[in-house]
Structure 1
């Protein structure tokens, strides 16, 4: 039964990714606002209802990693080593994403095209802001469960710091800066940001 469920889940994830990939190509060709969900469904060979089963909103077809971001940030806190602080675990996650050139790191050869589509669409920019809030709420919940002092504040400043570094690197990539150079500076800024957060957290002390 577990194997069947695993196979079913893998198929669902593959279908979700295929629909998102097809939608992304259409958005890149014609712009987000010019493409309808019905057109995405036809291109993917599924019904519009199937698309909405996987993606509640059109914007989620493109910004499809928001749930993964929330899961990763919360998971870093939940799954940290017994002697590891939440901030240390989050720092480790941020650096791993960068090393992997994961889409959620914000640094990679292919990502400027993604950023241009977002910048050109008010709907996507709005959804991206909502996504940041969703990640922040998920992280705050995880920090509260970890008995962290003032989890809402810590989640807010951590996500804000990560977003600030992410956006700065995205702007540089859009300007044509070399990826290796952006990645090096991105790492340095992450290290500085988390060092500052850890110092502030240590000054606050435990509850």
Structure 2
């Protein structure tokens, strides 16, 4: 379900806001939770926000339909992506989405870390598994100023714009407010690194057809 898309006037992490009607700070498995995906123009320091409703500990695929073509109309270049959960000040490190009009990173895996039902961290769990795409290693700085390495697949050229729309796998790890352990993180793609999974990763793109949302102005 598409909840909201608005302009952001800065990409400073302190100024990014995620709209939510939730009043509780803690969650149990099955509770509804809002995540906001920020599409940030690094040069112009403006962006768009897309909000999704997900269930805690449900492995979910989110497809931001037409995100590539919508941003392209605005002069698509140098866009990054960051994810925020509900009212929490926590926000994920910013990752590249579009370096220029051709180099596009379309698929992301995010693990939401909870402790006793509180969101404590947002962890990127990306990797390079699709042999049909290019692979890139790079350094990422989180909100604490800590630097870590990441890798992801990207397209050099978008022959089909739908392939370059942003797509996200969301999973959870840790414990909920009742002390139950999260189970969805066991399904994240990195769990299968020991196998020959490039074909599985390519096929997994198809599951997004069940979770279609549209980025709009």
TM-score where L is the length of structure 2: 0.28
Which has the larger helix fraction?
Answer: 1
TM-score where L is the length of structure 1: 0.29
Give the greater-gyration-radius structure (CA). Answer: 1
Which has the larger strand fraction?
Answer: 2
Q: Which has the higher contact order (CA 8 A, sep 6+)?
A: 2
